[in-house]
């Protein structure tokens, strides 16, 4: 494996070599990928009819009713629509708790509040945080900016109803995976641009940070869309399909492409996690570099030889590392020790 300096790989091509770890499940994923590719060519109505099933929750995950409570609410957003939120409240939750605001992954097209179920339960319990997962409206029925607006409005509702949620409205971490990471990065930009206090950290997992047609390849290395074009779970063709459904038109709008923001100064500290075999790898690394260059405290974690969303396989050793990295980063930066770390 190549050299890594302060979490940043000095080169990235070798990161695309499948790891022994991934090869242990690659055959299982191959069948799923073949089905996923077929679904790109059916009408969206048929795609919706098939339905979405969230990844299974590992047996050792925190248990609702024992370790935490899970509830639902409806939140009205700017156009009068109701958005569902899933609330994870740890046992013995105290007023003024940290809020982890999760925007789910799914390419802006699919997914729901349970997409990162295991992650949300773990953060709620180990970090003693209230977790809110938002069911933003998905494309193509609701193209940009619906998802962005829904997330913004729901997060503002959370701040305005801090007493209901038992949270501190000025101690919020936004986070998500893939498209959810994009929406989380955009929330951080919006709150900064509007001078709204409250977001103290951002967790950007396998993030979408820039449309490939707009990527500033003169500033950052950009090989992963080609090198990893045939990768598993998400390949380049699927990413184009997601983008085409999400955008009314290709644009350099920074609330679509956070990498293209005029400035990344004064953004909250960030944890960025990227996968070596992911077409999105280089835009995730580029965003981490942009944040670091702007003086933002940034931790980059790279998982060589693993594809986009590898963590849907709980049996992979790197999945445990991926989850614990989030718990540790939150604990170190915002809370002190997490549960299970000596307290």
**pLDDT over 80 at 8, yes or no:** no
Q: Where are the beta strands (DSSP E) in 104-166?
A: 130-134
For residues 300 and 7, the answer to whether their CB atoms sit within 8 Å is yes
**pLDDT over 60 at 12, yes or no:** no
Mean pLDDT of 4-22: 73
Mean pLDDT of 157-161: 99
Q: pLDDT for 50-101, tens place per residue?
A: 888 888 898 899 999 999 999 999 999 999 999 999 999 999 899 999 999 9
Residue among 278, 282, 318, 328 flagged as catalytic: 278
Domains of the chain, first to last:
4-335 (3.40.50.1820)
Q: Where are the beta strands (DSSP E) in 146-198?
A: 167-177
Catalytic residue status for 92: no
Q: What is the pLDDT of residue 14?
A: 86
Query: DSSP for 23-69?
Result: HTTHHHHHHHHHHHHHGGGS-HHHHHHH---PPPPPTTS--BTTTEE
Q: pLDDT for 121-138, tens place per residue?
A: 999 999 999 999 999 999
Average pLDDT score, the chain: 94
**pLDDT over 70 at 336, yes or no:** no
Which residues partner with 298 through β-bridges?
270
**pLDDT over 70 at 175, yes or no:** yes
Q: pLDDT for 94-120, tens place per residue?
A: 999 999 999 999 999 999 999 999 999
Task: Say whether 330 sits in a helix, a strand or coil.
Answer: helix
**pTM strictly above 0.75:** yes
Q: What is the pLDDT of residue 137?
A: 98
Q: pLDDT for 208-218, tens place per residue?
A: 999 999 999 99
Residue among 19, 61, 118, 178 flagged as catalytic: 178
DSSP 8-state code for residue 143? -
For residues 126 and 141, the answer to whether their CB atoms sit within 8 Å is no
Residue among 308, 318, 328, 338 flagged as catalytic: 308
Catalytic residue status for 308: yes
**Among 116, 186, 112, CA closest to 148:** 186
Catalytic residue status for 67: no
Instruction: Copy the structure tokens of residue 242.
Output: 């997601």
Q: Which of 21-25, 48-52, 121-125, 233-237 has the lowest mean pLDDT?
A: 48-52
Q: What is the pLDDT of residue 340?
A: 53
Question: Is the backbone peptide bond immediately before 212 cis, with ω within 30 degrees of 0?
Answer: no
């Amino acid at each position: 494996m190549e050299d890594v300096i302060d979490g940043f790989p000095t080169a990235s091509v070798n990161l695309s070599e499948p790891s022994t770890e991934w090869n242990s499940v690659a055959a299982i994923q191959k069948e799923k990928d073949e089905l996923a590719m077929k679904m790109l060519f059916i009408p969206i109505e048929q795609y919706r009819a098939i339905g979405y099933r969230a990844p299974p929750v590992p047996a050792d995950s925190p248990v609702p009713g024992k370790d935490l409570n899970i509830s639902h609410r409806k939140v009205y957003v700017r156009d009068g629509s109701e958005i569902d939120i899933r609330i994870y409240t740890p046992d013995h939750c105290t007023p003024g708790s940290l809020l982890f605001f999760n925007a789910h992954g799914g390419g802006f097209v699919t997914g729901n509040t349970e997409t990162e179920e295991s992650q949300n339960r773990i953060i709620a319990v180990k970090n003693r945080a209230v977790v809110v997962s938002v069911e933003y409206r998905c494309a193509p029925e609701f193209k940009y900016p619906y998802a962005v607006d829904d997330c913004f409005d729901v997060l503002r509702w959370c701040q305005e109803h801090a007493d209901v949620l038992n949270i501190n409205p000025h101690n919020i971490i936004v986070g998500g995976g893939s498209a959810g990471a994009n929406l989380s990065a955009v929330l951080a930009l919006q709150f900064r641009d509007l001078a709204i206090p409250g977001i103290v950290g951002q967790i950007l997992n396998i993030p979408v940070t820039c449309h490939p047609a707009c990527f500033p390849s003169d500033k950052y290395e950009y090989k992963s869309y080609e090198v990893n074009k045939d990768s598993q779970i998400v390949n380049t063709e699927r990413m184009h399909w997601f983008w085409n459904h999400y955008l009314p038109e290709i644009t350099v709008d920074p609330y679509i492409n956070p990498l293209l923001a005029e400035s990344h100064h004064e953004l909250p500290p960030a944890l960025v996690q990227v996968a070596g075999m992911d077409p999105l790898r280089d835009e995730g690394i580029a965003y981490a570099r942009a944040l670091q260059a702007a003086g933002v405290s940034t931790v980059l974690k790279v998982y060589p030889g693993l594809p986009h969303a590898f963590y849907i396989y709980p049996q992979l050793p790197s999945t445990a590392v991926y989850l614990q990295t989030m718990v540790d980063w939150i604990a170190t930066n915002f809370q002190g020790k997490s549960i299970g770390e000596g307290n």
